Chains A and B, each alone.
Chain A
C-alpha cells in the first residue's frame, strides 16, 4: 500500500469523525462582536502648523537636490540587477540601471575557462550574454548531451527584473538559433533572501541554483507524499548535479513551479532511454511483462548516490516493485519488492530459520559468504528487520516472525575505491571511534553528559558528494540527534552538528 493511500484513509477517518456544528457556530458567532479594525491616525494638532509646513518644504527641497545626485550615481555605478548563469560553469554578472555590465565573476574553475579572454566592461548585458553563451558552446560545456542553462535574475525592481530576464532569454535563443543548437533555458527571477544566500554560500553555488534546487525539493516532497516518487530529495543530494541533470529531474517530477519558466527540453542523449530501462528492469526483477498489472512499467528519472538513474515501478498481483537502473550505463543499481497483502499470521519461527528465509529470498546458498549480518526483532510489529552484505550488494528485508517476507531490497554497495581511501576494511570501526571522540567533545561544550554506550540508531553510510567520498554518520543520544561527515580519504571530520529533536 502506498503512502498516499494511508494518507487518504487517515484523512477519510478524521473527515468522517468531524461533527458538523456550523449552524451552532454561526448562531453563536452572530451573538459575538468582532474585534475592532485599527482606527485611523489621530488628527494633526492645529497649533504650530505653519512651522510644520516650513520644515516640510525644506525637507522636500533637500530630498530633490540630494536625491538627484544619488540617482545619477546609482544609474552608473551601483548594481541594479544581478544575473546568475549556471550550466556547470557558474558565473555572476552585475548590471547597472542603464543596462551596462559592471562586472562578470566566475564562481568555479569551469566558469573561469568560459570567460577567459573576454572583456565585458561597458558593454550592454545582451552583448555579454551573447559572448558568454557562445563561449560555453565553443568550450563544450553546452553540448547535445548537456544542453540546459539556468538564468536567474535578482533585482529589487520587479518590472526591470522581468524585462532583463526576457531580454536575456531572447538573446540566448538567438545564439542557439544561429548555432543551430537544440538547447534548453530555464529562467527565473530570484530574491536574495537570507535562506538562499546562506545555502549558496555554504555550498559555493549561485542563489539561482539554490532556488532551483529548493523548488525541485518541494516538488519531490509532494511527489514522495503522493507515492509517485520514492524519496524526497535533500539539498545535499541535489547540489552536486549539473543544471541539465536538475532539469531532467524537474521534468520527470512534473514540477509545477511558480516563477520558473523553461524553453526547450533537457537533453537525454546521454542516457539509455526509458524503453531499454523498462526491459532491463523486468529482467532484473525476473518478472514477465504479461504478469505486470496493466502491462505498464512507469519510468522516471531519479538519482541515487550522485548517479542519474531510471526508477521503474510496476506491480504484479502479489508484489509492488521498484527497480533503479544506472541511466548512463544501464547497470543494475537497486531493486525493492514489497508484498501487497501479508495475509494471516502464523506461528513464529526461530532466528536461524529467519536467516535461511532471507538467504533463500536473496537467491543465496546457506553456505554463502555474508557479512554484517543483523537481525532486529520488533515485538510490537511481530517482525524482523534483517540486513546483510554479500557479493558487493546490500540486502535488507522485513520478515514477519512467522517467516513471511514482507519486503526485500537489494542494492549495489557503494564500495570504497581502493585508490581513494586510506582507511581500508577497518573503516567502520575507525570512523565510529573518531566520531565518538568528537561527539564527546562537542557534547561537553553544549553541557550534555554524553555516554557512548547509550547511543542508539547509529548509522554510518558512505556517500559521494561533489565527487568526494565521505562517511555520513548519524546517531541519537537522549533526545539529541548527532550528525557527522567524515572525509573517507583523510578521516578528517568535515561537519558536525547536534540537534535537539
Chain B
C-alpha cells in the first residue's frame, strides 16, 4: 500500500527553484532564503577544495553574488543545487589559480575561526574533529561524495551526475568514507 503515495519531486528542489526565481525578480528575500538553505553546502564544498577558511568564506560570498547576477538567466532543470554548487566549484578553481595549493587546514587558523563561534567547547571539539578529518585525511574523491551527500543532502544518483562518476563508484566511495570516519571517531577521545 505504500506505493499509494503519489509524491512528486522532493519539495526542496521546487522550493530552491522558487527562491531563484524570486531573486531573478530582484526580491532580496529570495536571496535570504536560498542562502539559509544552501550556504553550508557551498561552504563545505569550498572549504574541502580550498582547505582554507578565509578563502572558502570569500567563495561563499562571491558565489551568492554570482547567483544573484545570473538568476534571470537560470533555466530550471530541477537541479538548482547542482547549479549553485557548480558556480561555487568554478570559483574555487579560479581561486586556486591565483594562490598556492595547500594540502591541510592550518590548525591555528581553525582555532581562530572556531573561537569566533559561540558554541560549547565539546561541540567545537566534535565539529573540528569532523571538519579536519574530512579536509585533511580523506581523499578528494571520498570527501566530495560525503559532503555532497551529508551536507548538501544530494541523492547518490544526483552526485553521480554532478561528479560525472558511475553510481556504484559513488556508493562504494561513500561507504568506504563513512566506515573510515566511524572507526576514527570510535577510537578518538574527544
Contact = CB atoms under 8 A, between A and B. Distances in A.
B3 A251 contact: yes
Given A25-B35, A186-B3, A261-B6, A19 B60 contact: yes
Contacts of A6: 150, 178, 181-182, 185
A16 B68 contact: no
Contact of A18 (B3, B60, B169): B60
A256 B7 contact: yes
Contact of A258 (B9, B26, B31, B65): B9
Contacts of A254: 2
B12 interface: no
Contacts of B36: 22
Given A13-B127, A15-B40, A34-B71, A29 B151 contact: no
B99 interface: no
Nearest to A236: B168
A387 to B, nearest CB: 16
Chain A interface size, as a band, is: 35 or more
Contacts of B7: 256-258
A221 interface: yes
B11 interface: no
- Classify the secondary structure of B's interface with A: helix
B44 A14 contact: yes
A221 B156 CA distance: 7
B61 A10 contact: no
Interface residues of B, number: 72
Given A10-B130, A17-B43, A32 B60 contact: no
A345 B189 CA distance: 10
Given A262-B1, A381-B183, A22 B35 contact: yes
A159 B123 CA distance: 54
A225 B156 contact: yes
Most chain B beta carbons < 10 A, residue from A10, A22, A254, A499: A10
A130 to B, nearest CB: 23
A254 B150 CA distance: 21
A374 B35 CA distance: 51
Interface in A220-242: 221-222, 224-225, 232, 234
A12 interface: yes
Given A6-B185, A225-B156, A21 B61 contact: yes
A12 B122 CA distance: 13
A28 interface: yes
B150 A7 contact: yes
Contact of A342 (B73, B149, B186): B186
Interface in A284-310: none
A251 B182 contact: no
Interface of A: 1, 3, 6-22, 24-26, 28-30, 32-38, 186, 218, 221-222, 224-225, 232, 234, 247, 250-251, 254-262, 265, 341-342, 344-345, 381-383, 398, 400, 406, 481, 499, 501
5 contacts: A10-B146, A13-B126, A33-B69, A37-B73, A225-B156
